[in-house]
Structure 1
């Protein structure tokens, strides 16, 4: 098969596998499932820029979705990005296999595609609603390839590397993913070679890609450190019949036992993990023989092994103590506490190992048959990744009240406080599935929230008692006046009445009459009363906004991030057009 035919096969297989996962989400409705929240339109509020009282955990993600949703329905934006992430993860793995193991041919590349898309990491992060982490996963193989070219010949390869790093840094965690790959593939080798210039350029590329959340973290009023108690809650979890190390080696181990495919909640998890590891282990001898001639194999192997081992160590008693100390004292270290997500760093070498397995077995059987066997061992043991992870990840249609409320609240009219307080919800429309409150994404003004998380009845990341969010929450639960809220910058109280079985620590509200909500605050004006939501206005609020300098600075950082991607796409397109022109007879 020629080069173009091989490329077409890689793209086609990536699209087919990705479609098998996300097809039901292309319903025209919206995600409202755990951390995954999409809305018809979102807005560039201070919160979306990473400014305000909460850590910049979703920057530049929220800004990008808000900007795109001005021209395309927000539900389509999120599902489109999710689908694109899976496709690019597969294509990147296929191209990496082609580059490092050209003798394995198209069959080996297709096995690499299957490993990159069809694995427990993808399933668990979709079930947790962390769809944006898939974008970080998608960038890994592309960053490795661009980094290899940049350190070898420089030039426009640096532009390509910067663009892929920016894509990966769609979230702060994704930014850490690509930073690790750049350090392993570019920084360490050039430091050992005493080549200062490429080392400095590589560091600059990583900083540029992560600029939005780095700038926002410097400007936000949120605490720079995190609750050490969350380390125990978010530690990697062993699957049935497997230890923590083996679970992580099988690309699983998410802390939330409810965010696991059904097939991995029973003894079958051991069979599925064994199948994946057999494919990877079969290719290891080929990788060992080539590691000296192809240093990138050695570097990606080191990243994968170290990531899995460190994640396992972080789940032990001493590991939790060390990590707890880090997140409690080192700014930004809270990104490390959900340790199992870093098994994504093993995916590139696993994909290449799968291609190597096809090459090895292909000595005795046709490579197409070897690839088919490898793909079957990867896909068949995880059947419930298909169709929205067995139908658990699904879309919903928002009740009409949400549209009415969104239209009623203009920009710059004061922040919103929700009743009940907190961010976790179980709405009727989701069938009781836990989700985040969509108000912060749907409304034109920020929602005052402290960012506290309730896991198994335990609260972590609770805001300081003197914070604006904590004071506003006390007023709407314990009592106060509209003037008290107005002084805090609150212009609206949103009462969400239609949900059931609220998580521990929240309060079920009822609406016995027209705007007769059980909010113990006097002086509020009723604006809307519907079956799902009641909206009350706080007269004359003192509007709290980030300074013009802070907003301009964060906007500049986001635009620089976007420009990095756009320039990378333009450069790659120009290069491709030149190649096509030169290939013409």
Structure 2
């Protein structure tokens, strides 16, 4: 119910279009979807999975469904984790754990930033923890290993989700148990993580798309303090995303202090009880590190260290957005929230557990009221103008490289609300859409990796003619602001009030290594399907035991 209370506006017809979240009726296995473009492979194997699914189901439904399921998994998984580690907390404790996992600033801010696939990975974290703890119990069986593999693979829709899941799995190795030895559990977890990482590791090597320029955005992506809380207090209360525009209204005032006191009060209330459960201790320690490390990364020495690291190892550019690692605190927080019910029951024996749970859950919800209904209606389903489908169809009939105006990666469309959104065109066409990947953060431009796109952009803005664009390998020019650009003396293939398509006719050779990268994606898919088979087998085995 809580996940639906958050995502209810997405049940309407339409598409999720908000900042980094872009969904289209259909996606394709283009070079970009396989990570063979100039941009770093940040959305693999997410784009591959959506492209496959959209051959059967409308792509907008796929993305919305995955987002809703991700939040539902977060709540259900937190309740399941509480049942395994703190069985005496009962249904009341599980309700508090589920509420804390769904109803928090981290979820609100990532929704507003459009990180739907990250939230899918976030929803897998308590399941990863539960699966690893089960392997540490007596007689776990190989089906339990399959369960762990499935959740790691599902979290691996994005590199960040995979890294979060692997961290939680390895942390839970430190829990005591008489089941599989730690080395065997570690082999399963690391093996699954490595196989799930093959799509973006392979694409990065084949396309050579990792650039040290990512280091220039470290300061722009640092965690941000909210009113009255400071950086540590903000992160401890699960807030602090770098983009101040992707923050719920209630966290932009000193009411954020009240919300932080309530959330941390519930956690602290159950902390002593949770520490007494050996299986919970590793996750509680991880929660502390998940707050301290991003806070340290936001200091001057921390920023310098991260920038130097990314310049030396461009593949670690994923570390820039430090606040997203706060997700690692949530499994531990959920356990502490469940333990709060046990603590209150010990001190107020006459107070029913259901009443204490109701008080905790109501307080958590009341102090973040604008998370409801798509973060106050900001996360909703939108409809594309008809011309977009027509323009995409024309390009798909002859998929040659596409240059786009305006040149910015983020767009502001009158029909898409006030918030900017990534250009939807690259996910709607078979062709390679040239993009610099430049991002404006707080008035500072963080350069992307698209050097070829930057060169084409310069040609376009300097009044290029047909021959120059053809020589540059441009097949189409799309102007998304509506009316044609007089400076482009090119034949118009389509025009309406929202979009214009110019035919150029240039082309470039196909990107090399497509078969290799596709094979890496199929390994991830096999891991996901095989893990699911193990999960189903484990469920059947548990039912037979009952």
TM-score range, shorter chain: over 0.9
Secondary structure, counterpart of 1:518 in structure 2: coil
Partner of 2:188: 201
Q: CA deviation at 1:195?
A: 5.9
Partner of 2:540: 577
Partner of 1:304: 287
Partner of 2:455: 471
Q: CA deviation at 1:60?
A: 0.7
> Which of 351, 375, 378 matches 2:334?
351
Partner of 2:147: 160
> Which of 310, 315, 327 matches 1:327?
310
Secondary structure, counterpart of 1:234 in structure 2: coil
Q: CA deviation at 1:196?
A: 4.5
> Which of 402, 408, 424 matches 1:416?
402
> Which of 528, 534, 548 matches 2:500?
534
Q: CA deviation at 1:176?
A: 1.1
Q: CA deviation at 1:534?
A: 0.9
Secondary structure, counterpart of 1:454 in structure 2: strand
> Which of 546, 549, 554 matches 2:511?
546
Partner of 1:387: 373
Q: CA deviation at 1:256?
A: 0.9
Question: Is the CA contact (8 Å cut-off) linking 2:81 and 2:126 kept in structure 1?
Answer: yes
- Is residue 220 from structure 1 mapped to residue 183 from structure 2 by the alignment? no
Partner of 1:82: 67
**Deviation per residue, 1:446-466 (Å, 9 max, x gap):** 2101111111221112447xx
Query: TM-score under structure 2 normalisation?
Result: 0.95
Secondary structure, counterpart of 1:528 in structure 2: strand
Bigger mean CA deviation after superposition, 338-347 or 467-476: 467-476
Question: CA 1:189 to 1:538, structure 2 compared with 1: closer, same or farther past 3 Å?
Answer: farther
> Which of 154, 166, 186 matches 2:173?
186
Q: CA deviation at 1:480?
A: 2.3
Partner of 1:72: 57
**Deviation per residue, 1:162-195 (Å, 9 max, x gap):** 11101111111111101211222238989xx996
Q: How many residues align?
A: 539
Partner of 1:494: 478
Partner of 1:272: 259
Whole-Å separation in 1 of the counterparts to 2:19 and 2:292: 28
> Which of 385, 397, 419 matches 1:399?
385
Question: CA 1:415 to 1:205, structure 2 compared with 1: closer, same or farther past 3 Å?
Answer: same
Q: CA deviation at 1:403?
A: 0.8
Question: Is the CA contact (8 Å cut-off) linking 1:35 and 1:130 kept in structure 2?
Answer: yes
Partner of 1:7: none
**Bigger relative contact order (CA 8 A; separation at least 6):** 2
Question: Is the CA contact (8 Å cut-off) linking 1:112 and 1:354 kept in structure 2?
Answer: yes
Question: Is the CA contact (8 Å cut-off) linking 1:439 and 1:447 kept in structure 2?
Answer: yes
Query: TM-score under structure 1 normalisation?
Result: 0.89
> Which of 201, 216, 225 matches 1:229?
216
Whole-Å separation in 1 of the counterparts to 2:486 and 2:324: 41
Whole-Å separation in 1 of the counterparts to 2:454 and 2:175: 45
Bigger mean CA deviation after superposition, 78-87 or 215-224: 215-224
Question: Is the CA contact (8 Å cut-off) linking 1:44 and 1:63 kept in structure 2?
Answer: yes
> Which of 126, 136, 142 matches 2:111?
126
Whole-Å separation in 2 of the counterparts to 1:195 and 1:350: 24
Secondary structure, counterpart of 1:228 in structure 2: helix
Q: CA deviation at 1:562?
A: 1.6
Bigger mean CA deviation after superposition, 219-228 or 296-305: 219-228
Question: CA 1:79 to 1:209, structure 2 compared with 1: closer, same or farther past 3 Å?
Answer: same
- Is residue 567 from structure 1 mapped to residue 530 from structure 2 by the alignment? yes
**Deviation per residue, 1:209-251 (Å, 9 max, x gap):** 2221121122123234343221111111111011100100000
Question: Is the CA contact (8 Å cut-off) linking 2:214 and 2:314 kept in structure 1?
Answer: no
Q: CA deviation at 1:156?
A: 2.3
Whole-Å separation in 2 of the counterparts to 1:188 and 1:489: 57
Question: Is the CA contact (8 Å cut-off) linking 1:225 and 1:333 kept in structure 2?
Answer: no
Gaps of 5+ in 2: none
Whole-Å separation in 2 of the counterparts to 1:569 and 1:462: 37
Whole-Å separation in 2 of the counterparts to 1:576 and 1:87: 19
Question: Is the CA contact (8 Å cut-off) linking 2:132 and 2:185 kept in structure 1?
Answer: no
Question: Is the CA contact (8 Å cut-off) linking 1:248 and 1:308 kept in structure 2?
Answer: yes
- Is residue 147 from structure 1 mapped to residue 132 from structure 2 by the alignment? yes
Bigger mean CA deviation after superposition, 280-289 or 563-572: 563-572
Q: CA deviation at 1:359?
A: 1.0
